[in-house]
Each structure stands twice: as structure tokens, then as C-alpha cells.
Amino acid sequence: MMATATREAYGKTLAKLIVEHDDLFVLDADLTKSTKTIDAKKARPEHHFNMGIAEGNMMAVAAGMAASNKVVYASSFAMFAAGRAFEQIRNSICYPNLNVKVCATHAGISVGEDGASHQCIEDLALMRSIPNMKVFQPCDAKQTEEIIKAVYSIEGPCYVRLGRLGVEDVYDENYKFEFGKGNVLKKGGKVAIIASGLMVQESLKAY
């Protein structure tokens, strides 16, 4: 089975979307190669802005652009996107319910050589606690593609949690994402395992 990082699928999908939609803009915090927004930059450079290592400012700029009828995808590592920029996301994006899609990569503890300072599990709790924020965590490349396309049309702020490591495919090309609906992958009689992100693959192994 193929092992593709969800961040890689994010970059490829974003590169397609940025060409298709004139109102779509991408912001990044000096991590374009790591978050894979570099794919979108190559596809449409005038719609991509590197905001530097200033995540709070990036979210504020994203809010301003969204208030001007733009759909903004803002990316950094989860620790910095959700952690360092929490106040700007809470007050400048979610309070006015603006169309900003925070796509955070390198989430969780499986970030390898990036180390403990970049490991982040708090981001889920932080983002789920804010009114108007909708949280997504795809488990593989196909689900990432579907979610990244879907959040463009979902009104208001979204947080998409993406990983660093390559993960095995769970869904095939026929998979269609439905907002708010869970997917039953295996059936049993005594135990229910509910998972998201790369824990879906681990749960399937446990089954």
C-alpha cells in the first residue's frame, strides 16, 4: 500500500484549488516547503503570501482578507498555528465567523526529528473549544483531498489537522466526504473503536 503524508495531499489539492478559484488565497508562516503550500505558490504565485515567522500576524491578515470576501487557507505547524496564534484565531477569525481555513501540519507526536517542541496534541482541545470553529482530521491522502475541497465551500472558520509522516491509504478513489458523518470501516459485535487521523490505521491494525 502507498504511504503518503496528509500534508502532501494538502499541497497537491491546494495547487488545484488555487487555480480554479479567483477568491482563494494562501498564507504561510515561512514553512512553505514543510506545509507543502509551496505547490500552491508554484501554481499561482500571486495568490500565495509568505508572512514570515509571525503566526499571529498571519491570522490577523487572513481575517482581514476574509472580511474582504476572500477565502483564505492559512498554514503553519499545529503547535504554532493553534498555539501561538490562538488569540487571533479566537477573536479575529471565529468571533466574526470569517472564511479562514487554518490548515495545520505536523500535528500530534509523530513528527520524528522535529522534536518535542513541535509535538502538539493541545491543538485539538484549543480549536474545538472555540465557537464557530469546525475541526477536521483526515486519515489518508484521499480523505485529505476531499476535506480540503469541502472546506472551501463550508461557510466560516475551519481547522484541518494534518500529519508529517506518510500513512497508508484507507479510502479508494470512490470515497466522498460528508460533513458530520462518520464512516464504518469494519464491523464487530462487542467493541466500538472511534478514531481519526493516523489513529484510523492503528485502529484497523488493532481490529
- Residue 145: active-site member: no
Q: Pick the closest to residue 79 from 162, 11, 2, 16 (CA basis).
A: 162
> How far is Cα 35 from Cα 93, in angstroms, rounded to an integer?
21
- Cα first-last separation, the chain: 18
Whether 64 contacts 14, CB under 8 Å: no
Place of cell 508572512: 51
Which ranges in the chain belong to alpha helices (H)? 6-20, 32-35, 38-43, 55-66, 78, 86-88, 122-128, 141-153, 199-206
Catalytic residue among 8, 20, 46, 55: 55
Hey, is 67 helix, strand or coil?
A: coil
Q: What's 83's DSSP letter? A: I
d(CA 51, CA 57): 8
Q: Which residues are catalytic?
A: 55
